[in-house]
Amino acid sequence: MRKPIIVGNWKMNKLSKDAMDFVKEVDGKLHDAGDFGIAPPYTALWTAQHYAENLIVAAQNVHFEPSGAYTGEVSIEMLQELGIKWVILGHSERRQYYNETDEAINKKVKVCLENGLTPIVCVGETLEEFEADKTEEVVRRQTRDCLANLEGDVNSIVIAYEPVWAIGTGKSATKEIAQDTCALIRDELKNVLSQEAAETIRIQYGGSVKPDNIAEYLAQPDVDGALVGGASLKVDSFLELVNAVK
Ligand code: PEP
């Protein structure tokens, strides 16, 4: 049995004070049937981590080098200084706007595992690829390339399947698409990692998940939770997502 995991990706939203209010409001209302987390912007990570006892606090990115001339970037050690143990990698907005490649994501996954951080690795096809029937090819390639040649606790990795055409668009994938694609990713995990990893690794669906549609995704055998943008920003709707996990 894989424990469901729901993580809110706050993107470039909220100040430290907002993070403090949110965590104080939500942290005591979580339950043990799932793992729940938020990914605030860098500037609010310390505050969120400081007030969180139960919530996972994840960064939205990290650099693969330990230090150096990388203006605007943040290293693993910098996150660790704040107590951060989780990080989202390869979100489609980073791939699209900042040209992040599978190769760079692979380096990031490696340094996370070497340093005891848990990565949430995002994969997913664009609208063009979806319409050209290339979803399987794309997600298998991304899974393979992002997770190549890993050492360490690979079973702790979380994958987020996020069709790019469903992110922030209000157009969610059907539960059948979410299930079928998560099953393909799980199958690829067997090839790139192992049978055990394929059975253990949790795969989230992400893309316009809301309180009124999360239950249908969670009911799918290969969907182990959700990565949520818009609906994770308000306390009430975040808690509705939390309470959809039984
Ligand atoms: C996301 O940012 O990962 C996401 C899925 O956003 P939204 O839920 O708003 O589509």
pLDDT digits (tens, 9 = 90+) for 118-173: 999 999 999 999 999 999 999 999 999 999 999 999 999 999 999 999 998 888 89
Closest of 44, 37, 35 to residue 12, by C-alpha: 44
Ligand 1, atom 2: nearest CA belongs to which residue? 229
What confidence score (pLDDT) does residue 125 get? 97
pLDDT tens digits, one per residue of 159-190:
999 999 999 888 889 999 999 999 999 999 99
Q: How far is the CA of 68 from the centre of ligand 1 (A)?
A: 31
Active site annotation includes 31: no
Q: How far is the CA of 156 from the centre of ligand 1 (A)?
A: 22
What average pLDDT does the chain have? 97
Pocket residues: Cβ below 6 A from ligand 1: 9, 162, 167-168, 206-209, 227-231
Measured from the CA of 231, which atom of ligand 1 is nearest? 8
Q: How far is the CA of 69 from the centre of ligand 1 (A)?
A: 31
Active site annotation includes 162: yes
Region 83-103: mean pLDDT is 98
Q: How far is the CA of 10 from the centre of ligand 1 (A)?
A: 9
pLDDT tens digits, one per residue of 3-29:
999 999 999 999 999 999 999 999 999
What confidence score (pLDDT) does residue 170 get? 86
What confidence score (pLDDT) does residue 11 get? 98
What confidence score (pLDDT) does residue 246 get? 86
What confidence score (pLDDT) does residue 148 get? 98
Measured from the CA of 230, which atom of ligand 1 is nearest? 9
Region 183-198: mean pLDDT is 98
Catalytic residue from among 129, 162, 188, 216: 162
